[in-house]
């Protein structure tokens, strides 16, 4: 780079920092037109920092968002005081809240004015450029799944140098090593809003991750240059990612961050934003989801469960692409027992809250309006997830559990398995269950069957029973954690339907069907089938409620084990239907609603 370019870059960095930190502007989540003109200078003057070699550990694991957090971090810009005050107020009941700001006394005074007590708040006075800390903050990782805690950071894909250094300041403040992917050959550009992980080696992004690491950005920018195989290997070496799922970018989402329409709620559950049929990004979201369901599985080797949640329109009915902002409930933050939820207006908020209360029982859901004239955060293309980030605890108790499915078995106990780990080892584990939502839990001890696997048996229950349960692990030294996190207020559940219908398999009927999803259905719909032996001459059919065949979904042999089948619900009129699996001797069926 010549002297003139170096000089120009230095002037640009100084001017940008002075301009933004004086709070003359609130930068959007995407690049401004001016920033596009200075991006190349930013890339050319980028300094290597932190530890620029891969973490020297084995079994690296990037924590999932539903795991235990030590801190929630935000950057206080003064532009969204009401929204950030509500975040601080709710989050400090769960963990430390670390506020990055230029004047801590001013922030303290502002929070006091909003009636927020200073209970669990810490301040780092540091320069910044914008509020979008999700995108530029580092990710918490562990060695050997639960041991050494460290940060992994990337190059921020915006020419905002002060933002890109906030991870450094926090790492120094908390005494955490930070490994930075800023030096060749592993120089890497990415953003936190385009990243989801299950905490066990699976990760999701849009294909923006490929575009911004292919060597040439818009207008010939000097982006990092890696093949997709290179990227996959780097994510494995630095963050322990074994399967990196990349989806087509959405046509109307200008920033192409998946947190604007998707959320991984646990190891096997996806929350997906939904538009009316054929509207805005709806068709591409459905195509991406079908691609994921057809080609990838959870860490347990089973299909992802999918729940839909509406993407709200403007008051006038506009959606992205037709005059509406990218309003979304998927852009939420999980911080221990609390969910910080962006909200818009009652007609949609009521539906969203009802959905989340159903699929995430026990969580404290805190609604925060991001769409009003005084605090219109969503107009800048981001919401709550975009302006928050979490730091995982040191020495976590790690619990991973595949939830028990509905069953017809009324004779045999129900085995629950879990991976439970802590740096000092696990001294005990239990399953707590009850069959009355208002009743008292009963504890069943789990046995360490092998390695870090623990197993326990819930006693067999009569047909018609709903079983509510959770898993608890106790580390040597006494630290405890549950799965799901907010248990006992939160729980998993399954139904015992007995023979003659429903889902599951027993010793008599070799055919089984787990919950069809999504249900209600409106597009590509998954039928998870399992059999305990190979079935000849089987059929999977869709019928109306008087038994007339609407579609033959599959005819032929069903191999032993688990397999997914699909049908397109958009081809049929709204109403109640049944999916039936039948062989010469057996059948099992389940209702599905098409909307």
| DSSP letter string, 52-99 | -S--S-SS-EEPPTTS-EEEEEEE--SS-HHHHHHHHHHHTTTSEEEE
Name the segment(s) of the chain with CATH classification 3.75.10.10: 10-392
User: Does the pLDDT value for residue 61 go beyond 90?
Assistant: yes
Question: In 3D, which of 68, 61, 120 has the Cα closest to residue 89?
Answer: 120
Give the number of other Cβ atoms within 10 Å of residue 337's Cβ.
16
Write out pLDDT tens, residues 253-274. Answer: 999 999 999 999 999 999 999 9
Name the segment(s) of the chain with CATH classification 2.60.40.1930: 511-594
- At the top level of CATH, the class of 398-496 is mainly beta
Phi then psi for residue 512, to 5 deg, are -145, 155
| Distance in angstroms (rounded) separating the CA atoms of residues 148 and 138 | 16
User: Does the pLDDT value for residue 369 go beyond 50?
Assistant: yes
The residues that bridge with 535 in the sheet, in sequence order, are 558
Q: What is the mean pLDDT of residues 577-593?
A: 85
**452-456, 537-541, 544-548: which has the highest mean pLDDT?**
452-456
pLDDT of res. 260:
97
Query: Could you tell me which residues come within 8 angstroms of residue 487 by beta carbon, excluding any fewer than 6 positions away?
Result: 362, 432, 470, 472
Give the number of other Cβ atoms within 10 Å of residue 334's Cβ.
24
Q: Which two tokens stand for residue 133?
A: 């800390």
To the nearest 10°, report the CA torsion of 162, 166, 168, 174. 160
Name the segment(s) of the chain with CATH classification 2.60.40.10: 398-496
Q: Which two tokens stand for residue 185?
A: 């050959």
User: Which of 54-63, 70-79, 196-205, 516-525 shows the lowest per-residue confidence on average (mean pLDDT)?
Assistant: 516-525
Angle at 132 between CA 238 and CA 29, to 5 degrees: 105
User: Does the pLDDT value for residue 5 go beyond 70?
Assistant: no
Question: In 3D, which of 368, 364, 376 has the Cα closest to residue 342?
Answer: 368
User: Does the pLDDT value for residue 507 go beyond 90?
Assistant: no
Pairing of strands 333-335, 338-343: antiparallel
Residue with the bigger pLDDT between 48 and 474: it is: 474
Residue with the bigger pLDDT between 223 and 501: it is: 223
Strand order in the sheet with 269-274: 262-266, 269-274, 305-310
At residue 587 the predicted structure's pLDDT band, cuts being 50, 70 and 90, is: confident
Dihedral angle sign, alpha carbons of residues 234, 423, 263, 562: positive
Contact 71, 390 (CB under 8 A): yes
User: Does the pLDDT value for residue 133 go beyond 60?
Assistant: yes
Q: What is the mean pLDDT of residues 545-561?
A: 85
Mean pLDDT over all residues of the chain? Answer: 90
User: Does the pLDDT value for residue 367 go beyond 90?
Assistant: yes
At residue 480 the predicted structure's pLDDT band, cuts being 50, 70 and 90, is: very high
- Please count the residues of the chain: 595
Architecture of the domain spanning 511-594? Sandwich (2.60)
Query: Could you tell me which residues come within 8 angstroms of residue 451 by beta carbon, excluding any fewer than 6 positions away?
Result: none
Query: Could you tell me which residues come within 8 angstroms of residue 238 by beta carbon, excluding any fewer than 6 positions away?
Result: 54, 55, 60, 141, 152, 179, 181, 186
Question: In 3D, which of 187, 94, 95, 191 has the Cα closest to residue 139?
Answer: 191
Residue with the bigger pLDDT between 566 and 206: it is: 206
pLDDT of res. 20:
41
Question: In 3D, which of 213, 254, 267, 227 has the Cα closest to residue 43?
Answer: 213
Give the number of other Cβ atoms within 10 Å of residue 47's Cβ.
10
Instruction: Using the structure block, give the residue that is written with the tokens 């139904």.
Output: 495
Which pTM value belongs to this model? 0.82
At residue 25 the predicted structure's pLDDT band, cuts being 50, 70 and 90, is: low
Just give the CATH number of 10-392: 3.75.10.10
pLDDT of res. 30:
84
Write out pLDDT tens, residues 396-434. Answer: 999 999 999 999 899 999 999 999 999 999 999 999 999
pLDDT of res. 219:
66
Q: What is the mean pLDDT of residues 535-548?
A: 84
Pairing of strands 426-434, 561-568: unpaired
Residue spans of beta strands (DSSP E) within 426-534: 426-434, 442-445, 447-450, 453-458, 465-475, 480-483, 492-496, 511-513, 524-531
Contact 38, 14 (CB under 8 A): no
Phi then psi for residue 3, to 5 deg, are -60, -40
At residue 564 the predicted structure's pLDDT band, cuts being 50, 70 and 90, is: confident
| Distance in angstroms (rounded) separating the CA atoms of residues 237 and 219 | 31
Q: What is the CA radius of gyration of the chain?
A: 25
């Amino acid at each position: 780079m010549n002297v003139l370019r170096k000089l120009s870059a230095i002037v640009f960095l100084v001017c940008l920092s002075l301009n933004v930190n004086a709070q003359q502007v609130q930068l959007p989540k995407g690049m401004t037109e001016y920033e596009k003109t200075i991006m190349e200078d930013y890339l050319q003057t980028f300094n290597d920092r932190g530890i620029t070699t891969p973490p020297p550990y084995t079994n690296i694991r990037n924590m999932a968002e539903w795991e235990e957090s030590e801190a929630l971090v935000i950057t206080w810009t003064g532009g969204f005081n009401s929204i950030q005050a509500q975040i601080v107020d709710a989050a400090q009941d769960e963990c430390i809240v670390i506020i990055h700001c230029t004047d801590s006394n001013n922030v303290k005074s502002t929070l006091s004015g909003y009636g927020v007590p200073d209970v669990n708040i810490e301040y780092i006075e540091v320069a910044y450029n914008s509020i979008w800390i999700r995108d530029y903050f580092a990710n918490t990782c562990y060695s050997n799944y639960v041991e050494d805690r460290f940060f992994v950071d990337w190059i921020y894909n915006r020419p905002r140098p002060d933002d890109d250094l906030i991870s450094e300041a926090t790492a120094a403040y908390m005494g955490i090593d930070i490994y930075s992917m800023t030096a060749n050959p592993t120089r890497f550009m990415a953003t936190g809003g385009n990243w989801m992980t299950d905490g066990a080696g699976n990760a999701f992004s849009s294909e923006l991750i490929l575009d911004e690491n292919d060597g040439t950005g818009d207008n010939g920018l000097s982006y990092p240059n890696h093949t997709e195989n290179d990227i996959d290997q780097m994510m494995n070496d630095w963050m322990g990612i074994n399967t990196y799922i990349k989806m087509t970018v959405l046509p109307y989402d200008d920033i192409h961050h998946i947190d604007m329409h998707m959320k991984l709620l646990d190891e096997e559950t996806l929350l997906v934003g939904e538009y009316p049929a054929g509207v805005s990004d709806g068709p591409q979201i459905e195509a991406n989801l079908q691609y994921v369901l057809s080609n990838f599985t959870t860490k347990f080797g089973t299909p992802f469960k999918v729940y839909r949640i509406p993407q709200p329109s403007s008051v006038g009915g506009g959606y992205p692409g037709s005059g509406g902002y990218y309003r979304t409930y998927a852009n939420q933050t999980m911080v221990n027992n609390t969910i910080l939820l962006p909200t818009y207006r009652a007609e949609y908020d009521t539906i969203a809250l009802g959905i989340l209360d159903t699929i995430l029982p026990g969580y404290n859901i805190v609604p925060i309006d991001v769409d009003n004239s005084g605090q219109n955060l969503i107009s800048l293309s981001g919401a709550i997830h975009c302006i928050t980030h979490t730091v995982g605890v040191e020495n976590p108790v790690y619990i991973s559990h595949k939830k028990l499915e509905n069953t017809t078995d009324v004779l045999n106990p129900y085995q629950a398995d879990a991976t439970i780990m802590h740096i000092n080892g696990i001294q005990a584990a239990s399953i707590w269950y009850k069959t009355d939502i208002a009743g008292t839990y009963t504890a069943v001890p789990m046995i360490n069957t092998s390695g870090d696997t623990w197993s326990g048996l819930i006693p067999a229950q009569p047909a018609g029973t709903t079983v509510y349960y959770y898993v608890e692990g106790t580390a040597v030294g006494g630290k405890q954690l549950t799965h799901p996190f907010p248990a006992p207020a939160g729980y998993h559940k399954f139904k015992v339907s007995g023979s003659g219908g429903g889902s599951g398999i027993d010793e008599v009927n070799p055919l089984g069907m787990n919950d069809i999803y999504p249900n209600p259905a409106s597009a590509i719909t998954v039928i998870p089938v399992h059999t305990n032996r190979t079935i000849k001459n089987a059929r999977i059919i869709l019928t109306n409620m008087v038994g007339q065949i609407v579609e033959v979904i599959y005819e032929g042999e069903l191999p032993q084990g688990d397999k997914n089948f699909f049908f397109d619900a958009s081809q049929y009129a709204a109403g109640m239907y049944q999916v039936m699996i039948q062989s010469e001797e057996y059948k099992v069926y389940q209702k599905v609603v098409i909307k």
